[in-house]
A and B are shown apart, each in its own frame.
Chain A
Amino acid sequence: MTSRRLAAPAAAVAVFAIVWPLAVWQLWQSKLPSGLHLGGLNEHAYFSAAEIHRAASFGTVSTWTGIGTLIATLLVLAAYARRGARFVRESAAGRIGTGMLLGMLGLGLTWFAQIPFGVVQLWWLRRHHLADVGYFEYVVTNWLSLGGEFLFVSAALLIVMALARPLGDHWWIAGAPVFVGLALLFAFVQPWLIPNTHRLADPTLAAAARTLERREGVAPTPIDVQNVSAVTSAPNAEATGMGPSRRVILWDTLLDGRFTDREIKVVMAHELGHLKRHHLWKQVGWYALFAIPGAFLIALATRRRGGMKRPEAVPVGLFVFILLSTLAIPVQNVITRHIEAEADWMALTYDRDPAAQKALMKEFTRTALSEPNPDVVDYVLFENHPTVMQRIAEVEAWQRLHRRR
């Protein structure tokens, strides 16, 4: 009887142990040449001592505020996991409504813990002319943006707690696929949620984008510009959306004259490379791989509080979720760095302008103060793109490969 009862979980574990690594292997596949080595370049050969010092000095404070934010968040949520159940008395709602309240209050407390670090980071950005937001505006905007997080956590708890009633501690079996479905839905609608965008007006760049699309074999893709220069001077771009919603978004800080048309073409080729290689789909795939065991661990951790069907378990569930997310940061960064390196390779392959690509990477250090070679802690915890030196090394590797051919 006991062996029969254990058979189903054992079979599930066996299937998981086979499918999970296979899925990882499949998602890791890329167009990057095997044996590509991105280390070993000396930043002093590419940047002046002053540039390196300025970026390093900027990076140090950013790293410490980032670490401070992570630690403060975990400490506050650990305390909330112990004592948060008492907030049940602040609710006249039922089981799920009370769970929502506790989830929102947990996020509210993390806001209090994070805001001092955010203010210090803003001060540091302003000092380096990378942000143009006032402190009061920052705090108020930050407070209001919590509304979106509150709504998200409420919706997540509605799903989890509704499933936990009939399924008990097995809610995660149904819950994880639901969250993956929601991640897909969010990836699809996200482009329409990005504010202050308009279509790229520059005819030269628009024509260059069409050429790159043809070369990369990407379906015609809208190139939009997002107005962010009122709040930051940092340059950025992204590929977003799926199917009919997909598009490339360039921040207007890329188009303010600091970057040449050739450099902007590299950016567009990089973003189109994301679309060509279906990186958004892959990211949802990676999310699924982590969501399933993550949901299982949350179900396991909340058992002592009666499971996720009880509102008293929500503070523990929230803490475990944030703890697992924090522990996953280094792994997530490895994945995103791999994806970004592949998009860089696609840009090199289809734009064929290594000089512009190298110049662009150097410009990131000058304009966004990206450290050419950040320290290990920064690299592991906060670098979700290859470092500037790694990206330059990739350009040089591409050049060597094509010189040989």
Chain B
Amino acid sequence: MLSLGSLEPPREHPVRLLLTEDLRRSRLTTFFRLLLAIPHIVWLTLWTIAAIFAGIATWFVTLAAGTPPAALHRFLSAYVRYSAHVNAYLFLVVNPFPGFVGEPGYDLDIELPPRAPQNRGVTGFRIFLAVPAWLVNSALGYVVLVAAILMWFVGIILGRAPEGMRRLAAYTIRYGAQFNAYVYLVTDAYPHASPLEGRAALPESVPGL
């Protein structure tokens, strides 16, 4: 029988999840969570349009120069981070209302790599290489939706989030951030689907995320 302890840990991914342990949930903001997220959804939609154009420009520059331009890398990193913040809020992984600029320091945050040279081959075929990750990300979208619906009920009744469900939802958001970082050329590291964060060695008990 296969035990988790026998699994090979994934390599440390440059896009990492930082998550506080705060399970407290405001019943009021949980009840209205979908609606409270609307200004963020509108803003994220506008930001996504800009990010698509920025991503295309970054692709050309990275293909030619081998490294993404600094300004666009900063812009796209903030977009990837903000997108994760909004998803974390919308899907009840965190409690506080997020800011609108994708600044680091939110209860669920994404650590992104600095600007670095990227493999031109990977850059050239990025959009095709991303298809399998896109399929995984889409499937995880359903997972986080189900987890959020369950957490919504629990949050309203108990005023707290169930830890396991929250970690599951956080994992899907981490994968989404890795996927976005790959597609928008923040990094050329492929998303990894393991629920484990990359580590040098496995601890004796596997805590999941």
Contacts and interface: CB of A to CB of B under 8 A. Distances in A.
B32 A93 contact: no
Contacts of A108: 28, 31-32, 35-36
Interface in B87-118: 95-101, 105-107
A143 B38 CA distance: 13
Interface in B34-93: 34-36, 38-39, 42
A151 B28 contact: no
Contact of A93 (B29, B42, B100): B100
B138 interface: no
B39 A151 contact: yes
B29 A146 contact: no
A93 B28 contact: no
B100 A91 contact: no
Contacts of B39: 100, 104, 150-151, 154
B97 A93 contact: yes
A77 to B, nearest CB: 15
Contacts of B194: none
B119 interface: no
Contacts of A105: 28-29, 32, 36
Contact of A150 (B28, B38, B97, B105): B38
Given A90-B26, A92-B106, A108-B28, A150 B99 contact: no
A94 interface: yes
A92 B32 contact: no
B42 A151 contact: yes
Given A147-B38, A151-B38, A154-B39, A90 B32 contact: no
Contacts of B28: 87, 105, 108-109
Given A108-B31, A151-B42, A91 B36 contact: no
A104 B36 contact: yes
Interface residues of A, number: 22
Contact of B96 (A90, A104, A146, A154): A90
B42 A90 contact: no
Given A105-B29, A108-B31, A92 B98 contact: yes
Interface residues of B, number: 21
A97 interface: yes
Given A92-B106, A108-B32, A97 B38 contact: no
A92 B36 contact: no
A53 B36 CA distance: 45
A150 B35 contact: yes
Contacts of A92: 96-99, 105-107
A144 B63 CA distance: 45
A101 interface: yes
Nearest to A146: B35
Contacts of B101: 94
Contacts of B100: 93-94, 96-97
A332 interface: no
B184 to A, nearest CB: 23
A98 interface: yes
Interface in A137-181: 143-144, 146-147, 150-151, 154
Task: Please indicate which of the listed interface residues B29, B32, B34 has the most CB atoms of chain A within 10 Å of its own CB.
Answer: B32
B152 to A, nearest CB: 13
Given A90-B26, A92-B107, A101 B99 contact: no
A176 B99 CA distance: 27
B126 to A, nearest CB: 32
Nearest to A100: B39
A98 B39 CA distance: 12
Nearest to A148: B38
Nearest to B107: A92
A91 B97 contact: yes
A154 B36 CA distance: 10
A91 B107 CA distance: 11
Contact of B97 (A98, A146, A147): A98
A96 B99 CA distance: 9
Contacts of A90: 26, 29, 95-97
A97 B36 contact: no
A149 to B, nearest CB: 9
Contacts of A94: 99-101
A217 B68 CA distance: 63
Contact of A101 (B42, B97, B105, B107): B97
Interface string A90-132: 1111101110110011001100000000000000000000000
A386 B100 CA distance: 47
A100 B31 CA distance: 17
B8 to A, nearest CB: 36
Given A91-B97, A92-B97, A94-B101, 4 more contacts: A92-B106, A93-B97, A143-B35, A144-B35
14 contacts: A91-B97, A93-B97, A93-B99, A94-B100, A94-B101, A101-B29, A104-B35, A104-B39, A108-B32, A144-B35, A147-B34, A150-B38, A151-B42, A154-B39
The 7 closest A-B pairs by CB, nearest first: A92-B96, A91-B97, A154-B39, A93-B99, A101-B97, A108-B32, A147-B35
Interface of A: 87, 90-94, 96-98, 100-101, 104-105, 108-109, 143-144, 146-147, 150-151, 154
Interface of B: 26, 28-29, 31-32, 34-36, 38-39, 42, 95-101, 105-107
